[in-house]
Structure 1
């Protein structure tokens, strides 16, 4: 079990490629009852028997997108859709997910950057968190790095989006080996106004 204090969290990863051990470790994190979903930003060798078996037998929500090394037709064997990008919302946090080789931002996919709180991409195999203000709204960009083939001197990594009971959220990038915290940043969560009729 993941030793973090939180109400719930999202697991975020990309670029596992064919590393069975890395996917197995991530799957154990995703099986934590507090995990709302496993967001996957592309490049997973689904033709690998062990990897496809993990995905067929999973008991967690897995939301992948297509990476430059993925063949979306291979994913039909595990009954999963593999779009080029996807959008989702958890606990008021609006999220855009893409591998990053084609759609590095929502606007590259024909959407408005300002409509999202968090933009997740992979592809570079280097972890990082950055933010910018777009039309008076902060948008946070997350690359979870690679848990199997890190580049540029970075460590094998993954990310968590942690939701607390008070409504706050924080992104943490963690080392796959030892679960050590590598980077973190608070994320503003834009709650919908409550109607009092």
Structure 2
């Protein structure tokens, strides 16, 4: 299974367009696109509302089955992700999610907790903490590989987690 994830593009259609053309089983935008929900550049993506998205058509969250893995996507502002992942963890447990995707902090990272992958792809437009602008690619088979890539599609960081 392969998914591509981006977040916090803040009005930059070119980065959304560049990421949306990649090959994957599913694509996600974790909010703060600052585009209209029906903007054509978002049509190939599952998308959620961020705190800077004002189109009421965006859902607060989506749950999608991707090749047998249940994926929960949110922006993160309603789950206080800048303080802790605990609220997201409980939401994931309640829904039976295998993968939780979120943005909001503009900091990329991935970690596995109780067999659930928590992933923030970072920001494609306004990275924070001295990090590069990134999106993420998740490949899940015998292992879980999370690759953070810059806007030139070069690897910034690769994390591999043994799948139990």
Hey, what's the Cα distance between the residues in 1 that align with 2:54 and 2:5? 21
CA contact (8 A) 2:15 2:124 kept: yes
User: Which secondary structure state, in structure 2, belongs to the residue aligned with residue 172 of structure 1?
Assistant: strand
Hey, what's the Cα distance between the residues in 2 that align with 1:152 and 1:140? 22
User: Which secondary structure state, in structure 1, belongs to the residue aligned with residue 149 of structure 2?
Assistant: strand
State the structure with more CA Rg: 1
| Gap regions ≥5 residues in structure 1 | 1-7, 76-81, 190-197
Hey, what's the Cα distance between the residues in 1 that align with 2:143 and 2:67? 10
Q: Which stretches of structure 1, 4 residues or longer, exceed 6 Å deviation after superposition?
A: none
Q: Is 2:136 aligned against 1:159?
A: yes
Which residue of 41, 61, 75 maps to 1:54? Answer: 41
Q: RMSD of the TM alignment (CA)? A: 2.5
Aligned pair in 2 of structure 1 residues 175, 25: CA closer, same or farther (>3 Å)?
same
Which residue of 80, 93, 104 maps to 1:123? Answer: 104
Which residue of 112, 122, 125 maps to 1:145? Answer: 122
Residue of structure 2 equivalent to 1:40: 29
Residue 41 of structure 1, CA deviation: 0.6
CA contact (8 A) 1:129 1:185 kept: no
| Counterparts of residues 173-192 of structure 1 (less than 5 Å) | 173-186=148-161, 188=163
TM-score by length of 1: 0.69
| Gap regions ≥5 residues in structure 2 | 82-87
Hey, what's the Cα distance between the residues in 2 that align with 1:54 and 1:116? 27
Q: How many residues align?
A: 157
Residue 168 of structure 1, CA deviation: 4.8
